[in-house]
Amino acid sequence: MTKVSNNVAYIIKRINEEWGKKPGKKILQKMVFLIEEKGIDLGYEYGLHFYGPYSGTLDSDTALLHAEGIIDFHYSGYSHLMGINEDIEVNSDGLSNEQKEEIDKLLNRFKGQSPSYLELLTTAIYAYNHLEDRSKEIIIGGVKKIKGSKYSREQIEDALEDLVYFEKHITA
């Protein structure tokens, strides 16, 4: 069995194990963004994309992992589901035990959330991070500016409740 130390493959493996399913590219993008927001630097920079925060480097890294035979893509509907090749033993690359525990906590907290909700949450965090005025109305306006009418005010307000988990506090 081949052993590989790679943090992206490690996160895919942990999602497979913790959630009992393979993540699509969108879920992986959002979960890595959220892991970074919890203070675990995986080295990815994010910009805005149609589906919220997106890292082109992360997408390239998953393509490379696939080309190297470490991860498998399974095409299902509109998604590219990712799993670890059964002949590969994946470990993290330089993550401390505390960081791995924090990743597992985050994965368990957001287990079962839809890709759409993760898109909304990460967009709300992205807006929060790029606004000077962090009041509820301004953040909601920022999300609406980015996403248009895709999400209702109530959906955005629900997502804003999760910002506290990332130590992002909304002012009055």
- Cβ 54 vs Cβ 125: under 8 Å: no
Contacts of 51 (CB under 8 A, 6+ apart): 26, 29, 119
Structure confidence at residue 50 (pLDDT) = 81
Provide mean pLDDT across the span 52-66: 96
Was domain 1-111 assigned CATH 1.10.10? Answer: yes
Note the pLDDT of residue 76: 74
Does 102 have pLDDT greater than 80? yes
pLDDT at 78: 74
Q: Is 37 exposed, middle or buried (0-12, 13-18, 19+ CB in 10 A)?
A: buried
Q: What span, in angstroms and rounded, lies between the C-alpha atoms of 96 and 76?
A: 34
- Which run of H or E residues covers position 2? strand 2-5
SS3 112: coil
pLDDT at 172 over 80: no
Question: Would you give the distance in Å from CA 148 to the centre of its chain?
Answer: 21
Sole residue written with tokens 């955005």: 156
Distances (CA, A) of 84 to 15, 48, 115: 11, 28, 20
Average pLDDT of the residues in 7-29? 96
Say yes or no to pLDDT of 124 above 90: yes
> What's the pLDDT at 80?
83
CA angle (57 as vertex; 42, 28 as ends), nearest 5? 65
Q: Average of pLDDT values for 85-106?
A: 97
Assign 79 a pLDDT band (cuts: 50, 70, 90). Answer: confident
In angstroms, what CA-CA distances link 22 with 79, 141, 144, 155?
A: 10, 34, 30, 26
For the chain, give the mean pLDDT. 95
Share of the chain above pLDDT 90, in %: 91
Structural domain boundaries of the chain? 1-111, 113-172
- Average confidence (pLDDT) over 115-144: 97
Q: What is the pLDDT of residue 1?
A: 83
